Amino acid sequence: MQTTFDTLAASGVDGAARASPPAADLAIEARGLTKTYTLYPSPRAQLLDLLGIYRLLPWRAPRFGHHAALHGVDLAIRRGERVGVIGRNGAGKTTLLKLITGFSEATAGTVRVDGRVQALMQVGLGFHPEFSGRENIRAALMYTGLGAEERASAAADVVAFCELGDYLDQPLKTYSLGMQSRLQFACATAIKPEILIVDEILGAGDAYFSAKSSQRMERLTKSGCTLLLVSHSMAQILQFCERCIWIDGGRVVADGTARKVVGEYEVFMESLTAGLMGHAPVAPHGSAPEGKSFRLGQVGEGDGDAADAGDGPAGEAPPGERFVDTLDSGERVFRWPSLPGPKLVAFDILLDGKPTRRFREGAEVLLRVRLRNDSGLAVDCRYQITIFSLANRRLTRFLSPIDQLTGIPGETREATLLLAPCLLQAGEYYVNFALLPHDAMRAGIPARRYDLVSRFCDFQITRTLDYRDGCVFNHPGQWRMSPAGAAPAAHDRRPDAR
């Protein structure tokens, strides 16, 4: 199914449009999309305007204000692409989804949607509050185009998935918000949609159902379903999406890989939080003293997203290039706003004394960090290294003993962590590094840090054996072999035994 909504052509679009593939490869395409709302002083004024009364009495027509929720947004989403949309409340995210799904009409621009759409925009939307859960299931499946047997099978799947039991025979108006979200999500995903649009509904259920719905979402996305996900949970964006769009003030601020855009957004939001505590916040369209962020990779080896983003206003760098912070090696990093104190300037993984980002399972590697303290402050601190999978799963954390820095301006420090061997199994990983006050890990102590560099130092571990299925890490253990019926051989229980 192909749907196109056409309106007046937009007068202009900020920045260059992101390069688009051929139209036949696109599930969603928007050009110059603009939405402006009229601000009425009262419901009565809105009714009179909608009825055309003011047009008949122009001398009595008041002047209404207007609010532009979206400004000339260009968007191209390929079939099967998984795209997250992030931004603060009121940024225009939900307005964008309403225009894409046809729930609202654009003031200017065009949007084309090619495929069968399932939209989870609001809990309870499209369901009748007086109908029972079962009746709402049957009504929802009537519009899918399935035959009677297929609808019956899909209804059974919904009943099993939502786990509402006897409540399915009760009116929907008696359901809690979490129960409604269970039913709506189960109905929307009982059959594979070509395009799935989700607006924050994954956070409405309990922890068990959130995990259950996450598993189904993963299966849908791996099956080739196009996903457009709006969420304030960066973990969800990183888990489900390969690409991310950041909207602020009705405009696209950044559009690139999920890790790149999420990292930039996290630092921006952290800077706003710092502003509440008296530090200067970072503005999304201006300059700031420290670390908003950047592309991953070495200088001159970006993934192309910055070039696609287009140039901003004269003299202003593209969003992905503003406030770039680099280590001494040239690697670009997400550095979060932190207290004055020592900062990370270098991070290396050493194999046989040489820097590497690739090694085999079971290798003995050395993690080396180098710090510099330009603040002139003497501090007692701890170093923390956390390793994540590329799916943003925290795998292990290493916390150092307390270290003391004298506060001599320009003082440098080097610390190493030996993994002998590294127990992680084959896969791709990245690192978070934090410099914490010595008491930061104690209960009841407010969260503080001297430095936090997130999602950098990508590295790969390769296999030594050809396992069919991987796991998280290789645990050391002891094997002993003996003839059948004989007494088991004794194990050496020394702590260092392998």
Whether 281 has a pLDDT exceeding 60, the answer reads no
Q: Are strands 365-373 and 394-399 parallel, antiparallel or unpaired?
A: unpaired
Is the domain of 342 the same as that of 248?
no
The domain that holds 443 is classified in CATH as: 2.70.50.60
In a domain, 273, yes or no: no
In a domain, 11, yes or no: yes
Q: Are strands 343-351 and 354-355 parallel, antiparallel or unpaired?
A: antiparallel
In a domain, 239, yes or no: yes
pLDDT, residue 414, reads: 93
Count the alpha carbons within 13 Å of 304 in the hemisphere toward its beta carbon: 2
Is the domain of 218 the same as that of 347?
no
Is the domain of 214 the same as that of 357?
no
List pLDDT tens digits, range 324-372.
588 998 888 888 888 888 999 999 999 999 999 999 988 999 999 999 9
Measuring CA to CA, which residue among 312, 325, 334, 174 is closest to residue 264? 334
- What distance in Å separates the CA atoms of residue 252 and residue 96, rounded to the nearest whole number? 11
- What distance in Å separates the CA atoms of residue 403 and residue 379, rounded to the nearest whole number? 8
In a domain, 287, yes or no: no
Measuring CA to CA, which residue among 396, 477, 462 is closest to residue 431? 396
List pLDDT tens digits, range 153-202.
888 988 998 888 888 999 988 988 888 888 888 887 887 778 888 887 66
Report the percent of the chain where pLDDT is more than 70: 77
Is the domain of 84 the same as that of 186?
yes
Q: How many domains is the chain partitioned into structurally?
A: 2
Asked if residues 241 and 229 have their Cβ atoms less than 8 Å apart, the reply is: yes
In a domain, 29, yes or no: yes
State the first-to-last Cα distance of the chain, in angstroms, to the nearest integer.
60
Banded model confidence at residue 301, pLDDT cuts 50, 70, 90: very low
pLDDT, residue 2, reads: 45
In a domain, 163, yes or no: yes
Asked if residues 476 and 423 have their Cβ atoms less than 8 Å apart, the reply is: yes
Q: What is the domain extent for residue 177?
A: 2-254
Is the domain of 249 the same as that of 342?
no
List pLDDT tens digits, range 132-152.
989 988 888 887 667 788 888
- More confident site: 451 or 208: 451
Banded model confidence at residue 16, pLDDT cuts 50, 70, 90: very low
In a domain, 262, yes or no: no
* pTM attached to this predicted model: 0.70
Cβ-Cβ contacts under 8 Å for 4 (sequence gap 6 or more): 110, 111, 112, 113
Tell me which of 254, 272, 289 is where a domain ends. 254
Mean pLDDT of the chain: 78
SS3 52: coil
Tell me which of 201, 219, 254 is where a domain ends. 254
CB atoms within 10 A of CB 171: 15
Measuring CA to CA, which residue among 125, 96, 130, 127 is closest to residue 28? 96
What is the pLDDT averaged over residues 472-488?
72
Is the domain of 187 the same as that of 49?
yes
List pLDDT tens digits, range 304-326.
333 233 333 333 444 444 445 88
Asked if residues 258 and 239 have their Cβ atoms less than 8 Å apart, the reply is: no
- What distance in Å separates the CA atoms of residue 310 and residue 312, rounded to the nearest whole number? 7
Is the domain of 238 the same as that of 343?
no
Asked if residues 39 and 66 have their Cβ atoms less than 8 Å apart, the reply is: yes
pLDDT, residue 485, reads: 67
Tell me which of 207, 232, 254 is where a domain ends. 254
Two structure tokens written together for 91: 């940024």
pLDDT, residue 139, reads: 85
Is the domain of 343 the same as that of 247?
no
The domain that holds 63 is classified in CATH as: 3.40.50.300
Two structure tokens written together for 11: 């007068």
Two structure tokens written together for 278: 């008296």
List pLDDT tens digits, range 361-406.
889 999 999 999 988 889 999 999 999 988 788 899 999 999 998 8
Is the domain of 229 the same as that of 376?
no
